Chains A and B, each alone.
Chain A
């Protein structure tokens, strides 16, 4: 599969809430080829500082309009500059990068379990699955119930939405209950929290359900040459460093080893 580097125009950049933003950018080729799980790398400004591109999952795609929505959180220099971009500004995109979520043909019901900005790749995945008629159970872990990332989008996909804040029941408890109620979930996808990933790995083992996690990492190249974004994959006795950018960002929840 090809990787493209293309100029892209900022079409809108909206401050959503606290340090969350939603940016819509144009894309000629990447938008047509990128698949759920994959990411794009954005060089937010044409200068040497910040030097590197920043990796983001699409939040939503619009293939007719050739646009990609990016839901992002301001965490440092790159995203700070990104938040100041205005309509008409030009950025450089590279991608599609990385592997994809495993999507079996006969999926019927899936659970997506995310936290914070980690919900973004799950919205992209759900957009894709909804178009294929898959029933979605969305478990969203948030700090502020007034503001649930992706709520509007999941409603649009007809998803069953469960959310929790740190004060009430954990989303994973709700998913455990759902599984106990014999709701046949075919796959679980997660992003945004170690705790979620570990808990889902247990569910996967107990119920024999495929479960995958989208990992985040600091990266330099995005294409597998710099070896900077490695993560330990395998078992404690038999592991290898894998590159989040090309061997991932999607891994089985049970094979990720915390360093």
Chain B
């Protein structure tokens, strides 16, 4: 094993390496713990937790497209009480940072959930999912409107004893404007980005495949677009950027680091390759070693600088 330093930080929280699962692709970790030791990861990001039980969407929930996956899962959740009794004890056994993703349909739901989480131990960071329909605003997502985004981020930041990172959707007028806004409000990092909206039509039924018509597109097919967004956001935002969008190989991961991401989330790749994250971590380490880089932080944003390493 080489002695390359892969550690990165969000505030004072140290991640042993930058590779995390994307929320919703890793459950609360238990399933993958039957496959490999989760402590080799940079950290864990849970499935979005809701205050109360929510069943999620009816079928169909998945539709495969070339090099990608459309999903309309609907953020099912067992709710906080179940999380506390069943998932938290498992998470607490892990030595890596625990990022709890939270979702809600009203600001009140987010805040009540935060208040419960504040009492728990072992959690390191809250990831705020603001791509949920805001039921107080005709079901538009929280981040589709500057005022709604401001309000939810402000209130969550004021309530949370943990650092808060905000996962932004690319399906807005300007994800850069939203990233700058949440930075100004005091967020500790931005996740770029949630899934891109897409759709599919069943040509035999002559109807959209999904009941909600649009669905979230993820996988290798979105990588180039999300890389561009990370590049743009990194130009103007100084808080850590957590890149999420089609990262499937160590080469993808290195591209996002070079574009300016500090941390990386691997999502859909976990589905088609159970060892995607361990392979990506090993690949990054070997890449750095081969290029005589002793500290991963040296390559963050390097592609935007004139001087080559």
Enumerate chain A interface residues (CB-CB to B < 8 A): 1-3, 5, 43, 48-53, 92, 94, 218-231, 240-241, 246, 259
The contact sample of 27 A-B pairs, CB cut-off 8 A, is A3-B35, A5-B274, A49-B66, A51-B68, A51-B219, A52-B272, A53-B271, A94-B274, A218-B60, A221-B25, A223-B31, A223-B35, A224-B27, A224-B31, A225-B25, A225-B47, A225-B270, A226-B73, A226-B271, A227-B61, A227-B73, A227-B76, A228-B62, A230-B76, A231-B59, A246-B31, A259-B58
Q: How far is the CA of A1 from the CA of B69 in the complex (A)?
A: 28
Q: Is B55 touching A225 in the complex (CB atoms < 8 A)?
A: no
* B301 contacts across to A, CB distance below 8 A: none
A53, A218, A221, most chain B CB atoms within 10 A: A221
- B residues 228-276 with Cβ under 8 Å of A? 248, 268, 270-275
Q: How far is the CA of A92 from the CA of B219 in the complex (A)?
A: 19
* B31 contacts across to A, CB distance below 8 A: 223-225, 246
Question: Smallest CB-CB separation from B71: which chain A residue?
Answer: A228
Q: Is A228 touching B61 in the complex (CB atoms < 8 A)?
A: yes
Given contacts A2-B34, A51-B69, contact A225 B27 (CB under 8 A): yes
Q: Is B274 touching A241 in the complex (CB atoms < 8 A)?
A: no
B133 at the A/B interface (Cβ < 8 Å)? no
B80 at the A/B interface (Cβ < 8 Å)? no
Q: What is the interface residue range for chain B against chain A? A: 35 or more
B67 at the A/B interface (Cβ < 8 Å)? yes
Main SS class of interface, B: loop
Against A, the Cβ 8 Å flags (1 = close, 0 = not) of B43-70 are 0000100000001101111111011110
* B32 contacts across to A, CB distance below 8 A: 223, 225
10 extra A-B contacts, CB within 8 A, seeds A51-B220, A225-B47: A3-B35, A48-B67, A48-B248, A51-B268, A52-B64, A52-B271, A92-B273, A218-B62, A224-B31, A228-B61
* A51 contacts across to B, CB distance below 8 A: 64, 66-69, 219-220, 268, 272
* B69 contacts across to A, CB distance below 8 A: 51-52, 220
Q: How far is the CA of A51 from the CA of B274 in the complex (A)?
A: 13
Q: How far is the CA of A240 from the CA of B55 in the complex (A)?
A: 7
Q: Is B220 touching A48 in the complex (CB atoms < 8 A)?
A: yes
Q: Is A227 touching B56 in the complex (CB atoms < 8 A)?
A: yes
Q: How far is the CA of A5 from the CA of B34 in the complex (A)?
A: 12
